[in-house]
């Protein structure tokens, strides 16, 4: 099968103009607030008829789709050109673009305070400021925020901080500002991301890494005090909060013993529970990491879920955290990075 691409520049089809000069097209799709990117590398040599590649304008919106001849297009996203590089020899023109949803004001520092609100109301307010439509997980949206200072901090950084504290993702996706549980950011926008099933023979190369430094267990959390040794035991997480009415420190636990202990004392019981749950979930995901490459498949996307049986002892369920689609004169390949996924399974689709 022959891979093919489609590129629209400000809604005008420029595929044919690009095709005979394209050296490489790379689309990087990442989970979380990391900006998705597009890079086009073109042959910039002057042709016999004197023609040279046309320079794109900074700010041009590019829409990219990938597929194979005879198959339906799969949209890779919309990107805004933000950098152009010309070099020689060899004469090449490189166009770099970032996801169109990451508008500049969203990344600009602000100083303000939020009072007596909820996480959902905060996200809705920020979404309205940047002309996004808010899509919010109901449970996350109901989290109370009595007081919060945003000091010389961009809205993007603020949402990243708040989402991380609740094991969630806050990210602009296809015109929405999404607040969702990890692994559901694109699903909550209405985009269906079912579990995809791969067979080992479909992979060109793969690598699995298991780390005993990350799971929850007894001892001090790695990074909590900056000096603690890594822990290898498995179990739950214990966190503390200060009860101002009683004037004493209290504890909450998530999971079963042995417990990993978070030393930081939180202001409320809710914050302590969120910190413990986040640490436990993060630790479980970090126990295993999988990366692989295979012949290009545009259906693989960050936030998607993957099922694959490589060998006994290796987990089968994964959450995709990063995908790189690379199309060039050597063909089309896809590189994928995953972390463990431990939530309930969803309907499976074969990718054979």
Q: Tokens in use for 224?
A: 């909590």
Integer Cα distance of 74 and 258 in angstroms: 46
Q: How much is the pLDDT for 167? A: 80
Integer Cα distance of 304 and 321 in angstroms: 8
Q: How much is the pLDDT for 347? A: 37
Closest C-alpha to 343, from 306, 291, 290: 306
Integer Cα distance of 173 and 29 in angstroms: 11
pTM over 0.85: no
Q: How much is the pLDDT for 178? A: 86
Backbone angles phi, psi at 159, to 5 degrees: -65, -35
Q: How much is the pLDDT for 342? A: 62
Q: Tokens in use for 111?
A: 């100083």
Closest C-alpha to 291, from 266, 265, 276, 310: 310
Integer Cα distance of 9 and 117 in angstroms: 41
Q: Tokens in use for 283?
A: 């630790």
268, burial (CB in 10 Å: exposed 0-12, middle 13-18, buried 19+): middle
Q: How much is the pLDDT for 186? A: 63
Closest C-alpha to 74, from 318, 299, 337, 321: 299
Q: Tokens in use for 350?
A: 């074969």
pLDDT, averaged per 10 consecutive residues of the chain (352 residues), comes to 93 92 94 82 83 81 94 91 92 91 78 93 93 89 89 90 84 82 64 80 92 50 40 66 82 79 77 74 71 94 89 89 93 93 46 45
């Amino acid at each position: 099968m022959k891979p093919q691409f489609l590129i629209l520049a400000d809604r005008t089809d420029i595929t044919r103009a690009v095709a005979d000069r394209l050296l490489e097209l790379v689309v990087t799709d990442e989970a979380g607030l990391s900006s998705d990117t597009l890079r086009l590398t073109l042959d910039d040599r002057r042709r016999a008829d004197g023609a040279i590649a046309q320079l794109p304008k900074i700010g041009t919106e590019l829409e990219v789709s990938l597929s194979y001849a005879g198959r339906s297009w799969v949209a890779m996203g919309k990107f805004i050109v933000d950098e152009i590089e010309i070099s020689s020899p060899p004469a090449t023109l490189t166009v770099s673009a970032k996801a169109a949803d990451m508008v500049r004001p969203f990344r600009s520092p602000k100083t303000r305070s939020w009072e007596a609100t909820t996480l959902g109301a905060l996200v809705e307010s920020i979404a309205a400021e940047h002309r996004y439509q808010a899509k919010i997980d109901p449970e996350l949206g109901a989290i109370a925020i009595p007081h919060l200072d945003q000091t010389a901090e961009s809205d993007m950084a603020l949402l990243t901080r708040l989402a991380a504290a609740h094991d969630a993702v806050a990210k602009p996706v296809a015109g929405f500002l999404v607040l969702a549980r990890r692994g559901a950011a694109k699903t909550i926008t209405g985009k269906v991301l079912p579990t995809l099933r791969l067979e080992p023979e479909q992979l060109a190369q793969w690598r699995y890494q298991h780390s005993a430094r990350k799971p929850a267990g007894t001892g001090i959390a790695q990074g909590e005090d900056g000096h603690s040794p890594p822990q290898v035991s498995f179990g739950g997480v214990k966190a503390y909060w200060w009860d101002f009415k009683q004037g004493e420190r209290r504890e909450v636990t998530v999971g079963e013993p042995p417990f990993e202990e978070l030393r930081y004392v939180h202001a409320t019981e809710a914050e302590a529970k969120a910190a413990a749950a986040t640490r436990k979930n993060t630790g479980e995901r970090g126990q295993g990491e999988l990366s692989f490459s295979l012949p290009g498949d545009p259906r693989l996307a960050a936030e998607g879920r993957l099922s694959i049986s490589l060998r006994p002892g290796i987990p089968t369920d994964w959450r995709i955290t990063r995908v790189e689609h690379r199309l060039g004169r050597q063909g089309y390949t896809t590189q994928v990075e995953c972390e463990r996924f431990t939530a309930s399974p969803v309907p499976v689709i074969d990718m054979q």
